[in-house]
A and B are shown apart, each in its own frame.
Chain A
């Protein structure tokens, strides 16, 4: 086996896990952002519709963290300690997001519910925005040299980072509204989604263009043009979701919206390869799949474990989605 093969496989598995996390939790975060702005009846339905899903989706994030640690310990160490404050804020926001979903139903008191719905919205928004900002900065490279990271939370808030953050927020909010429409049959979900779409499209176009200037993500694609299929499919699904939405097909539209997230993240991951935490100062300081990875032995062990358990996870998670996703949350629902 070539020396580069195992780290390369793990690089793409790593990217895939992140992509699945954003595709799945993305619409949950969108629902969360929306929840604070809805009147009581709709709010209740919407928040309760997250009940069966948020935890299983969040485990993809835990897995992303675990995979980063196991397969790329140096990346895990440098990335998470460099992005200390944003990551802490993301984690605490996720804590509040989950707690808000669960605590909301613990009392019928309207003020209690308002507090948790607002918490849910703020928490979900911060997670979406900061993950976007963080990944935007990873795409364009960070102030990293051989002595470590030299940026601050403010240096992360550069135009490209903010643009990626806004893109995350918009696409998640869009998908969240599709979920709202799908689960409750409420027209409001359709209406808001339609209103979010134009700014989303604008942000996506700006992102595609500025990626060419601010990052090196397109160079891998230029080297192997066949790869352009992936971003092309992302664009196709972004257009398809609007068409399906126009046809009133909430489920199809949501599927296409989530696929857009999945394919966009995979596009960026392909563009990054083999970089994982690139240095803006000098590429020699970049952390890559090859200089940050675990030993071949560890990678092999983990690959065996993954080949056994990942398909099992997919099978029972898909079964679980089939079981719970189609059900409408309606008036007879026992609150």
Chain B
């Protein structure tokens, strides 16, 4: 009888007790019906967040995510205005690696490490800072705490058309014209020759020699030159001295150094062999150009590598894509190996929470959700981005890696040779005064030499005005 009573009581207790849910529904219970709003650039990784991760999070927690994906300019414009005005429209914002220093300088962002320490009930079991790649270090404040949860990271690589470079007819014709073997470029001369050869194949075809991210009215051109081309000529950190903040050679900078001028001359010279849309191309158009089969080689943001190489609905060059490191002048690789330089651009971003957010706790849960190990592999396949070390070895990622000519392996093994933007709090301010001269060089209204002389002078003047450099 006693046994029967005990058993009955146990069953009654079990039935009466609330169902044991997972962490997300438990943690989200307090915030049921809350709507958190975010803004980011419309890119493959962001679109995956909007289309896949946000609905999953809402289903598990009951917290609604309104995620706006817009143009790069609009994203920063909206996020910065919101944070400056303290209006609290956004609960999470995209923080590109290069803007984090400006945001930290203005104290825009919530300290996520501290928030989790202060609210242990918000700590998700599957979210650990130590699982991220070293890219997360870009989002640490002076106290070493994390202010942004990485959501994308990729390197800007040299993509080339394997089918063209391995075609015996092209190999023979190229050798006959240039006297050496056709191959993916390892020197700038080779890049130029490859570009010239493919651009001049036929007047009627739709194939050009190279992509160039040379929009003559958009900062994308500034970024390609200063973050991808100039470093391969040994000009780092935009040519601005990191201690004195001088840009011109006269003051100790390198923005208008002979190496920088040579780099700009080479890059602008490629426009002769680039498709007509090159001068209207940002990073998106460069990827589209390559995916449309309109260029034989080019610098392409890695976030596009996977879809270009594997998605036949969007790309005409599936199975034809080769990936390699960009060419560089002598000494740059050695400097990069020693950590004294870098060979190209390591880009990426995180989601951070503005101080102005009215739903910080719900936003923290959201950032943990997207930072879990379990969501990383599918996201990497969709957007060629990796922020967790373990993602590289996931079978799904390895499958895409094989089709994308080892892009993920290259990023894992050689990623340390690349670097993001310099840690300047005056990022947009200097870019805005320098970029117009890069546009002038693209259009041809200034020579590359004059453009960089003027750019360096303008950067010096701006840095003095901002109070960072001395007269």
Q: Do A and B interact? A: no
Q: Spell out B's residues near A (CB within 8 Å).
A: none
